[in-house]
Amino acid sequence: MKMLSASIARDRFAELRREALKGQEILIEDSKQLNSPLISIISTELLDSLTDSFVFAPKWEEDEDGSLTVSLDEIDVIGYGETREEAAEVLATAASEYTELYFSELSFYLSPMVNRLSHYPYLRRIARCSGDIAKVKKVLGV
Amino acid sequence: MLWLGVGPDGQYRQTTMHSYGDGTTVSPSTAKKMAEQLKFKDVDDMYDFLNNRHRKS
């Protein structure tokens, strides 16, 4: 796996982009700082394929009056309604709202106190729907 | 919409509140899920807190 300094990567960005599109992951280090964390340049299509394996398994419960509750243990979100369609809509909207909040407050959600790193690949799939609730419902399996 | 926050025990909590309007009763299954998400002992504990600001010890 190729590792380059940030300055060299900047100078060779077009070439590295072509390599990433072919499936290569390029690691970038900050050569000015010892032991600085690495970042990766990777194809978005490849990352989409990798996160597609994080599949949601919605759990449905029906009460005596016919109302429905649907839950996603993968991201700790629920939806509910008098019909399946309504519950799915509430779920997808809540999941989208959580996704937007999560990626806007990443340092909080990835902190040890909250510890929701495991939600990341699932929420990335929702984020890639760009707010289209119909697409979100499809990803959620509702 | 999402209701979320950090409790006095330092644990993060979140749940979903539908914008039905005030006073709409949720189903038993939904209430049970909400109680779990909000880390109450059970549904009674949650309703006790909402009505009286008391938790079961």
The ipTM of this complex is 0.80
pLDDT value for B19:
66
pLDDT above 70: residue B55: no
Average pLDDT, chain B: 83
- Which residues of chain A make contact with B39, given a CB cutoff of 8 A? none
Look at strands B2-6 and A26-29 and give their pairing. Answer: unpaired
B residues 5..34 contacting A (CB < 8 A): 6, 10, 12, 14-16, 18, 26-30, 33-34
Helix (H/G/I), strand (E/B), else coil: B56: coil
pLDDT at A89: 95
Kindly report the CATH number that applies to the domain delimited by A59-140: 3.30.160.620
Please determine, for residue B56, whether its predicted confidence score (pLDDT) is greater than 80. Answer: no
Considering chain A, tell me which residue range(s) the CATH 3.30.160.620 domain(s) occupy: 59-140
Model confidence band, residue B52 (pLDDT cutoffs 50, 70, 90): confident
A69 neighbourhood in chain B, CB within 8 Å:
27, 29-30, 33
Residue B24's pLDDT is what?
67
Mean pLDDT throughout B17-32?
76
This prediction has a pTM of 0.89
- Asked if A69 has any chain B CB less than 8 Å from its own CB, the reply is yes
Nearest residue in chain B measured CA to CA from A89: B18
Which residue type is seen at A66?
A: G
Mean pLDDT (whole number) for B13-26: 74
Provide the pLDDT for residue A79: 93
Write down the pLDDT at residue B17.
Answer: 80
**pLDDT at residue A91, as a whole number:** 95
Give, for A120, the enclosing helix (H) or strand (E).
Answer: helix A120-127
Q: How confident is the model at residue B47 (pLDDT cuts 50, 70, 90)?
A: confident
Where chain A has pLDDT below 70, the residues are: none
CB atoms within 10 A of CB B14: 19
Top pLDDT among B27 and A20 is at: A20
Amino acid identity, residue A99? T
- Contact between chains at A113 and B10 (C-beta distance less than 8 A): yes
Please give the helix or strand (H or E) that residue A29 lies within, else none: strand A26-29
